[in-house]
Structure 1
Amino acid sequence: MCPPLAFAQDAPVAPAVEGARTYAPADFSRYAPRSALDMLEQVPGFVIREPVQERGLGQATGNVLLNGQRLSGKSNDVVGQLSRIPAGNVVRIEIRDGATLDIPGLSGEVANVVTKAEGVRGSWAWRPDFRKYYTNPQYTRGEIALSGARGGLDWTLGLTNQANHSGAGGGTDIFNADGSFREFRDDEWTGEIDRPRVSLELGYQNADGDIGNLDLSWQRIFYDYVEDGTRTGPGLPQRERSVRSEEGGHNYELGGDYEWAFGPGRLKFIGLNRFTHSPIMDQVETRFDDGTPTQGQRFTRDGEETERIARSEYRWKAAGDWQVSGEYAFNRLVSAAALFTLDESGVYNEVVLPGGTATVQEDRYEVMGSYGRALTPTVTLQTSLGAEYSRIEQTGAGGLARSFRRPKGSVSLVWKAAPKLDLNFKLQRRVGQLDFYDFLASVDLNDDQTNAGNPDLVPPQSWELEAEAVRDLGAWGNTSLRLYAHRIDDIVDTIPIGEDGESPGNLDSATRHGFEWKGTFQLEPLGWHGAKVNARWQWEESEVRDPLTGEDRPISNNLKDLAELGLRHDIPGTNWAWGGNLDYSFYSRDYRLSEVGRVWEGPIWGSLFIERKNFHGMTLRFNAGNLTDARSMWDRVVYVDRRTGPIDFIEKRDRRIGPIFSFAVSGTF
């Protein structure tokens, strides 16, 4: 993937781009940032968007670049990678329109974080939290990173743990179809996850302009879920129910790229190898006070996922920016699942689980070409066109092999309508990604749901039309509005399988449309120095034909409403800051063969924070979360047969989460 790394002369930092909205380190001084992430999160009106997990690598997605390049790898999330870059290494942050860049696939506002490492620097953070109810204190979340440079080689070594403890408890009421009371359930659960990850990132640039990157990472997963509860109801025996779930395993990724001048342009090779091993075990037991034998079930699954990608890109300039690319991607899932039932002697015996064990793999080839140029001093065009060929093969349960040919591409147009107003339009034909686990049978014992598995799944395709307006409000801040409409063919939703089974599968078509508005408003012009408000509002409607009833309904679990409001006040002349946030989100129901329901938390999450900057060289932050008493809820209607309408029971869950107190301390060295 990369030639042997060598030391070279210091590579120059690219000059600032004319027309870009540029922020220097001094613009963030009042926030005392510790990392590039701390700085980017304070850019007015900008919201970090993680890259879409495309098939293979594909063209660029997301909205963050590092030194004009896509963030490398697939396991490296944007937030994690930026958090490992010390703020002292950031030269500037440029906000540009994606269609004006020579990186196909980008659109809308894109942040280019320009960095230059000098010497050896480190950063660290520790973020414990404590909950009042149902949850053990969480002490192990944090990160530490060390970065440096010598000659043309930059390196970053990081250790992170995205740990989280959560829990909730409370009652669930079960009603008969006529509204009469059937059963009361009282449950408490807690989940604890640790994901320690070690990573090494190497970047190389020599005096001739050759650029290379090498990324290595390895991660362990530790997850435990415990739920205990009681069941009571008229004419029913008293019961105690316990749920135990475990997940372990590990994953690693090795990826790299190398780019150099070749002929009239530049040639780039990219390679990546990923592997994930994820064994899980779920067990549910119900014990009866009247002496009835204990009932129990256990579900196990051992899955191994492999992904290998080889990609090449060649770009050159000739009356515009040209690029051609070719990519090969191989994906494979090897999974073995088993279901067990507890007998009266206390022994778990395996029962038949059709479709639970198989191997699913895909070979995919993609060729794309793109062209971009400025049509006028204020209008820029970017286009791409190509196609992919893929072969999906399943061996074992439901063995099947199929091949597909899919066109794909996009057209983007950027118009600088006024000195402080940018308009962006994009039409894209995209091929979606599949979850190979959806091909296989699985059982959710806790929620009493079974997926039969579906070897006939095909990748969804979509036409996506988007328009965005970005307005610079000067001293008042920045705001933007994005309108979008998508038509999705072969959308993946829950469909009937056989006589009485169900599983993720393809429906003919669906539509989705909505808007997203966001903005940052500085309160300096109103006389409130050091204060700003961040706001975001997204609304979405979707429609798909229900495969059981033939009626139009929303896409299962699709976003409907999202709203965020945040206030931050950095008190002038001090090292103190304070503020708060309100968050609301609401999703459509999940539509299954025998039930319709919505699992959600809220309706509103509210928090307050206080921050001390530069306390003996550290930043201290205390946050009190869920001050609005957001709840964990599940409302569902379970049918005897949803096609004909008779209801079996109605379930209404309302569990308390409680306040969440977190503390963060971070620093550099």
Structure 2
Amino acid sequence: MAAADAEIGVVDVKDAPTAGAQVYEPTYFERYAPRNALDMVRQVPGFVIDEGAAQQGARGLGQASANVLVNGARFSSKSDSIRDQLSRIPVGDVVRIEIVDGNSLDIPGLNGQVANVVVNSTGTSGQFRWLTGFRPHNTEAQLYGGEISLTGKSGTLDYAVSLSNNNNRFGADGPIVLRDGDGDLIETQFSKASGKFDNPRLSGNFTWTPSSEVVAHLNLKRGADYYSENITELATPVTGPERDRSIRNTEDGPAHEISGDIEFPFGPGKLKLIGLDRYERDNFVSTLVDNFNNGSPATGFRFEQTNGTGERIGRFEYGWNMFRADWQISGEAAFNRLKRRSSLFELDPNGQFQRLPFDAGNGGVTEDRYETILSFSKPLTQKLSLQATGGFEYSKIEQTGSAANSRSFTRPKGSLSLSWKPADDFDISLEVRRRVGQLSFSDFLASVNLDDNNSNGGNNELEPDQSWNVELEMNKNFGPWGSAKLQVRQAWFQDFVDFFPLSNGGEARGNIGDAKRLHVELSGTIKFDPIGFKGAQINFTGIKRWMDVTDPFTGLNRGFSFDLDSQLDLDFRHDIPDSDWAWGVGMFTFRPVEYSRRYEIGRYWEGPVFADIFVEHKDVFGMTAKLQVNNILGARNKGWRTVYDASRPDGDVLFTEVQNRRIGPIFRLTLSGNF
């Protein structure tokens, strides 16, 4: 099967698997009782889904980077994740799952192991998943999470329509202690936070195959976000009146995406046209009010911000075979925009909020970006393959408002990768890539964080970072024992973006110079069948990063603010043979890098270790029921920060703040089934 030649609805189930692929037939997954393709991909030994650059805020669509394909084709949506779309493919439509070398496919940008889900739509079917749960402390019940979807086929049209709600309920309570630079107590606080998030959305994915050589996709999504958080703090200072603080944060707004593509023969090759339009509006309000027990007038602030963000993309990809190699020329035009309105108010002694000047928080940012890339893929031997890409991008960034500015950039892009498969159970890939980073338009304009009493200034001189990246991936299959993957990624950045000092004494996000990061990740699956523990396995992922950048405030070397320092994820699962029962335990721990700002440093996380236990029955009136208890070891909402009375490193410590709040156990029930 040639990659990108087969699409949903036209795959021939008699086609032989891709040469050199590790093939997993549906029978392999029977013990897990999967409901959809996502359930199956998750159980492929040693394979971890990577959503790719498009789902991680990358520039435009670009070349393929996600490590999952369906019938050899990439996903063209940016709002619908790979997991979302896989969850709508019924298990009965999955012919097989192939683990292939991305470098061997004629889809430029792929490298390392890729899962190709071979699908053949057979008829109309439906799925549902209901996720409910509660926490004993600080939150309301989580009642309305889940998805219902309908997939089917009508002539040359395949469709999947779904209604879903991604929701969450969260909260924590506990002490916060403030001390001065000498370690003497300033104030104790009891903080309680309670919040909720809901993201209802209606999605439709359609595939039209009028002939074996023409295929078109259309993706539609309409949804909205609803977020709210209430925080109370009762502060008892060593001297002075008690303070009762109330913080209310809310955010809501609609979002939509329309995307699609069509591929058809053109001359000696195939032409693919892709288009995307998406827009989101966020209405954010943060209100902080302090009341005092000595009769003093209440004080406070309110911050309001409305962001409208949009993106339009047009892309073409033309591929052909020449000189026993696969070639592709691609071009992309992307138009991104942000329009922001911000207002800051202060509570007066009469209890009325009065507007303060905040011109730096208003304005807009647009970027017009054009890219062209030439790609070349060729097997050098039966075990060695090569892929090379090269091109450039041109972008023009314009800012309106109080700090209007316009700049343009021309940047080279490209990659060179080699894949070697010396044995059927072992492969190595090496890639060198030149990347251009994606800016957050929010960093161009000022914003305020009322709870932490800090603000980000605007910076109209921001530039996208550039980086050289070297990635090594090794995959080893141990047969009945499982498999393992080792990834080593080294990146060297230019114009790295982090917190940056402004000449007016403030700070903003800005370009702070050169930086580097080494990422080492080991993941895999260990199966216990060979030692007689039938149906038992452990999935694991361990990550460690080393970073180096010069702090613009102190001149010392440090890590990247808010980046990941280390992570460990272990999941044990036992599907009891000859029964419908499964059970398991898991643990997760991570450590973030501390952030560095002009007047403070700090770190916030949850831990030290999250642990959970679950029990699952695969046939409860035809449904799968899973009961899970999370945080059984009592991980807490933790954090600290040190605030200085002047710009670092010259300032003295004004105060330190240590937070240690209870999260408590989390109970969840999931029911899933078909209709």
One fold, TM greater than 0.5?
yes
Q: Partner residue of 1:429?
A: 434
Q: Is the 8 A contact 1:185 1:230 kept in 2?
A: yes
Find the aligned partners of 2:358 and 2:102 in 1 and give their Cα distance.
Answer: 48
> What CA deviation, in whole Å up to 9, does each residue of 1:62-81 have, x standing for no partner?
21111111112110111111
Q: Is the 8 A contact 1:11 1:206 kept in 2?
A: no
Shift of 1:418: 2.4
1:458 aligned counterpart, secondary structure? coil
Q: Is the 8 A contact 2:20 2:424 kept in 1?
A: no
Q: Partner residue of 1:373?
A: 378
2:306 aligned counterpart, secondary structure? strand
Shift of 1:514: 2.6
> What CA deviation, in whole Å up to 9, does each residue of 1:266-302 have, x standing for no partner?
0010011111111110000000000111001000011
Find the aligned partners of 1:544 and 1:608 in 2 and give their Cα distance.
Answer: 40
2:607 maps to 1:632: no
Shift of 1:608: 0.3
2:390 aligned counterpart, secondary structure? strand
2:578 maps to 1:577: no
2:496 maps to 1:526: no
Shift of 1:498: 2.1
Q: Is the 8 A contact 2:172 2:194 kept in 1?
A: yes
> What CA deviation, in whole Å up to 9, does each residue of 1:166-192 have, x standing for no partner?
000100000100001110010101111
2:38 aligned counterpart, secondary structure? helix
Q: Partner residue of 1:656?
A: 662
Q: Partner letter of residue 653 of structure 1?
A: Q
Give the unaligned 5+ runs of structure 1: 1-7
Q: Partner residue of 2:226?
A: 222
> What CA deviation, in whole Å up to 9, does each residue of 1:628-655 have, x standing for no partner?
1111011111111212141101110000
Q: Is the 8 A contact 1:415 1:424 kept in 2?
A: yes
Find the aligned partners of 1:86 and 1:449 in 2 and give their Cα distance.
Answer: 49
Find the aligned partners of 1:612 and 1:11 in 2 and give their Cα distance.
Answer: 34
Identity %: 43
Q: Partner residue of 1:397?
A: 402
Q: Partner letter of residue 12 of structure 1?
A: D
> What CA deviation, in whole Å up to 9, does each residue of 1:218-260 have, x standing for no partner?
0011111111120002112111000001111110000110000
Q: Partner residue of 1:75?
A: 79
Q: Partner residue of 2:12?
A: 12
Find the aligned partners of 2:16 and 2:511 in 1 and give their Cα distance.
Answer: 49
Q: Partner residue of 1:168?
A: 172
2:307 maps to 1:306: no
Q: Is the 8 A contact 2:76 2:274 kept in 1?
A: no
2:239 maps to 1:235: yes
Find the aligned partners of 1:285 and 1:498 in 2 and give their Cα distance.
Answer: 31
Find the aligned partners of 2:283 and 2:633 in 1 and give their Cα distance.
Answer: 37
Find the aligned partners of 1:102 and 1:626 in 2 and give their Cα distance.
Answer: 45
Q: Is the 8 A contact 1:11 1:205 kept in 2?
A: no
> What CA deviation, in whole Å up to 9, does each residue of 1:445-492 have, x standing for no partner?
112220011111111111110111100101101011111110011111
- Would the alpha carbon gap of residues 9 and 408 (structure 1) be closer, same or farther in structure 2, given more than 3 Å must change? closer
1:106-255 → structure 2 map (5 Å cutoff): 106-255=110-259
1:271 aligned counterpart, secondary structure? strand
1:270-281 → structure 2 map (5 Å cutoff): 270-281=274-285
2:84 aligned counterpart, secondary structure? helix
Q: Partner residue of 1:5?
A: none
Find the aligned partners of 1:46 and 1:516 in 2 and give their Cα distance.
Answer: 13
Q: Partner residue of 1:666?
A: 672
Q: Partner letter of residue 141 of structure 1?
A: G
Q: Is the 8 A contact 1:32 1:614 kept in 2?
A: no
Please report the TM-score for the alignment, with normalisation by the length of structure 2: 0.97
Q: Partner letter of residue 240 of structure 2?
A: L
Find the aligned partners of 2:94 and 2:11 in 1 and give their Cα distance.
Answer: 15
Find the aligned partners of 1:619 and 1:9 in 2 and give their Cα distance.
Answer: 28
Q: Is the 8 A contact 1:9 1:151 kept in 2?
A: no
Query: In the alignment, which of 638, 649, 653 is matched to residue 647 of structure 1?
Result: 653
Q: Partner letter of residue 40 of structure 1?
A: V
Q: Is the 8 A contact 2:26 2:95 kept in 1?
A: yes
Shift of 1:10: 5.5
Q: Partner residue of 1:40?
A: 41
Q: Partner letter of residue 166 of structure 1?
A: F
Find the aligned partners of 2:559 and 2:370 in 1 and give their Cα distance.
Answer: 33
Task: Figure out how many residues of one structure are paired with residues of the other and give that number.
Answer: 662
Q: Partner residue of 1:21?
A: 22
Q: Partner letter of residue 17 of structure 1?
A: T
Q: Is the 8 A contact 2:9 2:158 kept in 1?
A: no
Find the aligned partners of 2:527 and 2:213 in 1 and give their Cα distance.
Answer: 41
> What CA deviation, in whole Å up to 9, does each residue of 1:530-580 have, x standing for no partner?
101111111101010010111111111111111111110000010000001
2:211 aligned counterpart, secondary structure? coil
> What CA deviation, in whole Å up to 9, does each residue of 1:106-148 have, x standing for no partner?
1111111111111101000001111011111110111000000
Find the aligned partners of 1:529 and 1:252 in 2 and give their Cα distance.
Answer: 46
Shift of 1:150: 2.1
Please report the TM-score for the alignment, with normalisation by the length of structure 1: 0.98
Over the residues paired in the alignment, what is the CA RMSD in angstroms? Answer: 1.2
Q: Partner residue of 2:354?
A: 349
Shift of 1:38: 0.7
Q: Is the 8 A contact 1:215 1:256 kept in 2?
A: yes
Shift of 1:662: 0.3
Q: Is the 8 A contact 2:95 2:119 kept in 1?
A: yes
Give the unaligned 5+ runs of structure 2: 1-7
Q: Is the 8 A contact 1:250 1:277 kept in 2?
A: yes
Q: Is the 8 A contact 1:579 1:608 kept in 2?
A: yes
Detail structure 1 runs of 4+ shifted over 3 Å in the superposition. Answer: 8-15
1:77-92 → structure 2 map (5 Å cutoff): 77-92=81-96
Shift of 1:151: 2.3
Q: Partner residue of 1:555?
A: 560
Query: In the alignment, which of 607, 611, 619 is matched to residue 612 of structure 2?
Result: 607
Q: Is the 8 A contact 1:11 1:152 kept in 2?
A: no
Shift of 1:96: 1.1
Q: Partner letter of residue 654 of structure 1?
A: N
Q: Partner residue of 2:327?
A: 322
Q: Is the 8 A contact 1:174 1:650 kept in 2?
A: yes
Q: Partner residue of 2:476?
A: 471
1:70 aligned counterpart, secondary structure? coil
Q: Partner letter of residue 36 of structure 2?
A: S
2:88 maps to 1:93: no
Q: Is the 8 A contact 2:9 2:120 kept in 1?
A: no
Find the aligned partners of 2:212 and 2:130 in 1 and give their Cα distance.
Answer: 41
1:454 aligned counterpart, secondary structure? coil
Q: Partner letter of residue 196 of structure 1?
A: P
Find the aligned partners of 2:370 and 2:378 in 1 and give their Cα distance.
Answer: 27
Shift of 1:9: 8.9
Find the aligned partners of 1:95 and 1:11 in 2 and give their Cα distance.
Answer: 17
1:69 aligned counterpart, secondary structure? coil
Q: Is the 8 A contact 1:563 1:585 kept in 2?
A: yes
> What CA deviation, in whole Å up to 9, does each residue of 1:54-113 have, x standing for no partner?
211111112111111111211011111111111111111111121111111111111111
Q: Is the 8 A contact 1:9 1:207 kept in 2?
A: no
2:103 aligned counterpart, secondary structure? helix
Shift of 1:11: 5.4
1:321 aligned counterpart, secondary structure? strand
Find the aligned partners of 2:340 and 2:523 in 1 and give their Cα distance.
Answer: 42
Shift of 1:493: 0.3
1:443-482 → structure 2 map (5 Å cutoff): 443-482=448-487
2:597 maps to 1:597: no
